[in-house]
Amino acid sequence: MKHYRDLAPSIRTIMTPGPVEVDPRVLRAMSLPILGQFDPEFTDIMNEMMEMLRLLFQTNNQWAFPIDGSSRSGIEAVLTSLIEPGDRVLIPIYGRFGNLLAEISERCGAEVLTMEQEWGSVFETDDIIAKIRETSPKLVAIVHGETSTGRMQPLAGIGAACREVEALFVVDAVATIGGTQVLTDEWMIDAVIGGTQKCLSVPSGMAPITYNSRAEAKLKRRKRVERGLRDASNEAIPEGVIIRSNYFDLSQLQDYWSPLRLNHHTEATSMLYALREGVRLVLQEGLDQRFARHQLHGEALVAGLEAMGLTLFGDPACKLPMVTCIHIPDGVDGEAVRSMLLLDFGIEIASSFGPLKGKIWRIGTMGFSGSKRNVLLTLGALEACMLRQGFKAAVGKAVQAAMDTYNRRNDNE
Ligand SMILES: *Cc1c(COP(=O)(O)O)cnc(C)c1O
């Protein structure tokens, strides 16, 4: 028989927009003993998880729980459960993940209307609001932080416009949750999807979501009662209204997370431990402190890159604090630099997608990866790789500029 070596992944410095490095306490939590899914101890953990997620999403919503699967499983659960075939859905797109919202909505049978903004910028909220009033959609879905372009869309005001036309407002906050303000209630967002492997610094495999009573009303209308488990009184709901997916049926998932504890899937036990520990660390750090930390490391990185002589991609007014996009200079082989960073320094940075492929690099400073140590190491290593690639970097300036940023912050405190 073939001999398989034991699993021995290298220790990396991961400076991408996800997945990012994981706090050892989260990895440790994943190795704790398994509990049965109806064990009262496990029920306590599930209830506590919901409580902690409400704090994370800054919401009074009753419903806040994780979907088992990567972040897009949260997106798919929300859209599949809230979109009925034929519903008009408005999606403002300013990067790759807006396209994903449109694709999933199409698969749900929506009549998808899109607005497009050039990659590297975001929408004026007034333009989105005008479009909502003009088209009266049933649902509006938008990305808060576009990791593909490093931009962040302001959201205040859009939720109120959605309520005028009785539309549901859905936000993909996968990249921003735990890294910058996501004001679920204040921004009148009806359903929010977060991610684990970005600013929460938990491995990929779950997607925390929250939704309010407006969204829940839609679920109630579409609820299908499982044959044989409960009486089938409302099984006669019209064809097309039934939520098509079993795995992503929020009405059933809600019953599983509610005191009813109606069996749905088997909760991903070890992932739940990881998420609980990850969110516990977020709350222990404090949301405001954590957002300030993400802002600081983003600023230090930018100072270093600019001092090196590199130019940033995109409109600085809407930069995502924890993702920095850089133009790959002419004459520099972007992939050669990335592979040198990885193989010689153990540092990973990201390339990009679609129209930006080969044109920009993206560096993340998210969660546990967002540290002074990582930022300084990355700048020093990148400078070395750039010099090897023949780029006339302003030698020795990058790390110093970042250190100056950190020192100024300390002086102000
Ligand atoms: C990473 C990301 C996703 C997709 O996450 P997966 O975990 O890969 O499914 C969706 N939206 C945004 C904004 C992201 O940054």
Ligand 1 centroid to Cα of residue 194, in Å, is: 9
> Is this structure's pTM higher than 0.75?
yes
Is 2 contained in some domain?
A: no
User: Which CATH number is 336's domain given?
Assistant: 3.90.1150.10
Do 120 and 154 belong to one domain? Answer: yes
> Is residue 3 a part of any domain in this protein?
no
CATH code for position 243: 3.40.640.10
CA nearest ligand 1 atom 5, residue: 71
Q: What is the pLDDT of residues 255-277, one digit of tens each?
A: 999 999 998 999 999 999 999 99
CA of 118 to the centre of ligand 1 (A): 20
pLDDT in tens, 82-138: 999 999 999 999 999 999 999 999 999 999 999 999 999 999 999 999 999 999 999
Does a cis peptide bond (omega within 30 degrees of 0) precede residue 92? no
Give yes or no: residues 278 and 299 share one domain: no
C-beta of 93 in contact with ligand 1 (< 6 A) = no
Q: Are residues 257 and 50 in contact, defined by beta-carbon separation less than 8 angstroms?
A: yes
Residue 180's nearest CA partner among 210, 214, 144 is: 144
Q: Residue 120 belongs to what domain range?
A: 23-282
CB atoms within 10 A of CB 188: 19
Same domain, 236 and 296: no
Q: Which of 68, 71, 144, 206 to mutate to test the pocket of ligand 1 (most atoms within 8 A of CB)?
A: 71
Residues 176 and 312 in one domain: no
Model pLDDT for residues 328-339, shown as the tens digit of each residue? 999 999 999 999
Kindly state if the Cβ of 148 falls inside 6 Å of ligand 1.
no
Q: Is 18 in the pocket of ligand 1 (CB under 6 A)?
A: yes
Token output for 373: 């140590």
Angle at 257 between CA 39 and CA 260, to 5 degrees: 75
Residues 215-263: tens digit of each pLDDT: 999 999 888 765 554 444 555 566 668 898 999 999 999 999 999 999 8
- Could you tell me if 295 and 401 lie in one domain? yes
* Ligand 1 centre distance from Cα of residue 198 (Å): 8
- Of the three residues 247, 282, 317, the one that is the final residue of a domain is 282
Whether the pLDDT of residue 148 is over 50: the answer is yes
Last residue of a domain, one of 282, 299, 333: 282
Q: Whose CA is nearest to atom 12 of ligand 1?
A: 174
**233 and 129 fall within a common domain:** yes
Instruction: Burial-class residue 312 by CB neighbours within 10 Å (0-12, 13-18, 19+).
Output: middle
Q: Indicate if 243 and 328 belong to the same structural domain.
A: no
Q: Are both 253 and 376 inside the same structural domain? A: no
Between the alpha carbon of residue 32 and those of residues 27, 29, 35, 273, 277, the distances in Å are 9, 5, 9, 8, 11
Judge if 270 and 294 occupy the same domain: no
Residue 148 domain-assigned (yes or no) = yes
> Is the CB–ligand 1 distance for residue 195 below 6 Å?
yes
pLDDT confidence of residue 231: 47
In this structure, are 200 and 329 located in the same domain?
no
Does 366 reside within a domain?
yes
* Whether residue 85 is found in the same domain as residue 229: yes
Atom of ligand 1 nearest to the CA of 204: 7
How many Å lie between the centroid of ligand 1 and the Cα of residue 69? Answer: 11
Q: Are residues 277 and 303 in the same domain?
A: no
